[in-house]
Structure 1
Amino acid sequence: MKWADPRKLVTDAQAGGYAVGAFNMHSDETAQALVRAAEQAESPVFLQVGRAIVPHMGLRKAYELTLRAAEESDAEVVIHLDHGPWEEVFEAIKLGFTSIMYDGAHLPLDENIRTTKHVVEVAHSFGIPVEAELGTIPDAGEAVDWASYYTKVDEAERFVAETGVDWLAVSAGIVHGVVPDLPPQPLDLERIEQIRRATGLPLVLHGMSGVADDDVTGAIKAGVHKFNADTDLRHAFRAGLESVWAQGDRQLEEALAAGRERMIEATVAKLQQYGCAGKASA
């Protein structure tokens, strides 16, 4: 394992005109898939402990699972807390996470600013960068009034100035999840660029599964240099499982291995699409 400097990964992506991939793991096999994909693609990677696995096994065990997969690999990695609530953020700092996302986007703006500023002060005292979110990201298939969901440029400028966050996740047409046969919502690339100009920060987009290739390229040009994706990779893992179960009764381990291989392939494709393949340190 090579511990990567998360700030440098994103700064290098910004300078190089690409984005770093950030992916959630859900089990030993999915964590292994992510680090093996990073090895194959010669890419750095953010290994994200997210909101699905923490209720399932607890933050400590999820961190230990991720760390074990990383230590068994030569990949260049960051272990990142994804969508962390207030108490979880401070537990993650104590455990040894090297990057933090505090999610106060559901709070009123003033409270989001106040709590995020405190998280930044604590995390920065340990040398840990902080990602925060402003705006609302709906679930796939949910009927929404997009104008009320988008991140507002003036609020983003104020938020960044008053909190000192390192990266800002924004809402500009992305959704969590994918609905089969439903075309993806086009990204508001102009808004992304306006936020980047107003804040001066590298931006983050969550929910990058199913996003059109042109929007991926356009988002990078507009100022996004960290992409979070999960659903596409979970679907790949599931396809591997189902390919084994379709043959009749099989050992669970055989199905898990097939899921891992499919997820490796899907993750390598993401890393290539984002432009971070081949960007691992020599």
Structure 2
Amino acid sequence: MTGVDPLGLVTAARAGGYAVGAFNMHNPETTQALIQAAQRADAPVFLQVGRAIVPHMGLRAAYEMTRRELDESGLAAPIHLDHGTYDEVFDAIKLGFDSIMFDGAHLDFEENIRVTAEVVKVAHAFGIPVEAELGRIPDASESIPWEEYYTKVDEAERFVAETGVDLLAISAGVMHGVTGIEPQPLDIERIRQIRDAVGIPLVLHGASGVPADQLHAAIEAGVHKLNADTDLRHAFRRGIEDVWSRGDRQFEEAMAEGRERMIEATVQKMREYGCAGRAGRAAPAPDEAVLV
């Protein structure tokens, strides 16, 4: 573990009226990009081991890579398991992850409650906070039946009460990935209602491509952890393609340019989320937190 309190980062964001950025890495260069962006922006950050890297590298190797890059950088940041399966959650606890997300959104509601509560019980015994998801986040598409995906307020209230999760990822108009069409406006009123019903910080996955004014409204309504990946991957890719468009170049030169582009894009996200300049601010004690 890194010694950073992941829940404390989100508690501080809640008190300060901003959101902490949570971003996925895919190799050493993208891991370095996220770390260097946090250092440049003086921002808290969640380094996320997600669904793309685990099949490619394996959970242990992905964690060890991230751990190594963090140790060499001197940055203090939590390593977070994103969209973990049941088995991966327990492997992550053994490896030393600082926080985990168990994704039981594919289960029926009652089973999601039962399994998530089991995960929470074990994780909390090791002092590890748990994020869970309720509602479903669709892949980017031009036609999505949104009412089938949105998180229901009454279900969110019961889910949090019976599982004891620390953070709740909700569906309120976000997608995984980015399309070329006008994005779906976030259901800000739904976010407010869920916040009031559950009493814990909320998370939005799929923040890539969402206009800044929508994100600011979501933060004001109760979202204090924002996950994004696609925009940053695209920035990395543009750097590589720009180098190779100039003719034969060393692979390392292209990767270095991709890393720099991703740093710049990540710093911009941190500014949009309001977490730039917040790394040195301690999380308040529970009775000092301002609930927004």
Q: Is TM-score (shorter-chain normalized) higher than 0.5?
A: yes
Query: Which structure 2 residues correspond to residues 186-265 of structure 1 after superposition, within 5 A?
Result: 186-265=185-264
Q: Tell me the amino acid that sits aligned with residue 254 of structure 1.
A: E
The worse-fitting range, judged by mean Cα deviation, of 13-22 and 133-142 is: 133-142
The Cα of 1:111 is off from its aligned counterpart by 0.4
Structure 1: any 5+ residue segments left out of the alignment?
Answer: none
Query: Which structure 2 residues correspond to residues 28-177 of structure 1 after superposition, within 5 A?
Result: 28-141=28-141, 143-177=143-177
SS of the residue corresponding to residue 60 of structure 2 reads helix
Contact 1:76–1:281, Cα closer than 8 Å, also in 2: no
Contact 2:142–2:181, Cα closer than 8 Å, also in 1: no
SS of the residue corresponding to residue 77 of structure 1 reads coil
Structure 2: any 5+ residue segments left out of the alignment?
Answer: 282-292
Distance 1:268 1:73 in 2: 17
The Cα of 1:49 is off from its aligned counterpart by 0.0
Q: Deviations over 1:93-122 (max 9, x none)?
A: 000000000000000000000000000000
Contact 1:43–1:75, Cα closer than 8 Å, also in 2: no
Q: Tell me the amino acid that sits aligned with residue 47 of structure 1.
A: L
The Cα of 1:30 is off from its aligned counterpart by 0.0
Distance 1:170 1:11 in 2: 18
| 1:275 partnered with 2:257 | no
Distance 1:75 1:213 in 2: 27
SS of the residue corresponding to residue 77 of structure 2 reads strand
Distance 2:249 2:12 in 1: 45
The worse-fitting range, judged by mean Cα deviation, of 256-265 and 62-71 is: 62-71
Q: Deviations over 1:237-266 (max 9, x none)?
A: 000000111011111000000000000000
Using structure 1 for the length normalisation, give the TM-score. Answer: 0.98
The Cα of 1:144 is off from its aligned counterpart by 1.7
Distance 1:57 1:20 in 2: 26
Distance 2:4 2:255 in 1: 28
The Cα of 1:156 is off from its aligned counterpart by 0.2
